[in-house]
């Protein structure tokens, strides 16, 4: 019977699959943080304070994905205001003056 002492083997590097998995997890965590901050900023802009508090608190207590899903599915209406301006053009703007 052979006994191996794992402490004497030294540290080994993770497999390439595990490394790729950790990179994907890191990218997803960064994306979620960016979207969460964006959602909070947008909720503040439209003054939806109830949703703002709900998304903030759920994320802080570890249920951030539940808050983001609820916001995405049943969040407040986003009053999109579109302003259309007529393009003002001077009658002689197409000619070059010398």
Note the pLDDT of residue 28. 93
Note the pLDDT of residue 63. 83
Binned average pLDDT, 10 residues per bin, the chain of 98 residues: 55 86 95 89 90 88 83 77 68 57
Range of the domain at 54: 16-74
On whether the CB atoms of residues 78 and 46 are closer than 8 A, the answer is yes
Within a 10 A sphere around the Cβ of 67, how many other Cβ atoms?
20
Does residue 67 belong to any structural domain of this protein? yes
Does residue 83 belong to any structural domain of this protein? no
Note the pLDDT of residue 17. 93
Domain count, the chain: 1
Note the pLDDT of residue 26. 96
Query: Distance between CA 46 and CA 71 in Å, rounded?
Result: 14
For 50, the token pair is 């109830």
Does residue 60 belong to any structural domain of this protein? yes
For 98, the token pair is 């010398």
Does residue 56 belong to any structural domain of this protein? yes
Note the pLDDT of residue 2. 59
Does residue 6 belong to any structural domain of this protein? no
Within a 10 A sphere around the Cβ of 42, how many other Cβ atoms?
16
Does residue 91 belong to any structural domain of this protein? no
Within a 10 A sphere around the Cβ of 55, how many other Cβ atoms?
22
Note the pLDDT of residue 91. 59
């Amino acid at each position: 019977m052979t006994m191996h002492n794992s402490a004497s083997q030294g540290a080994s590097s993770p497999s390439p699959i595990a490394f790729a998995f950790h990179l994907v997890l890191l990218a997803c965590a960064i994306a979620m943080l960016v979207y969460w901050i964006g959602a909070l900023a947008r909720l503040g802009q439209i003054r939806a304070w109830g949703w703002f508090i709900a998304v903030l608190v759920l994320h802080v207590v570890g249920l951030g994905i539940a808050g983001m899903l609820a916001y995405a599915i049943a969040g407040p209406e986003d009053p999109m205001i579109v302003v259309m301006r007529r393009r003002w053009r001077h009658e002689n703007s197409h000619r070059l003056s010398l």
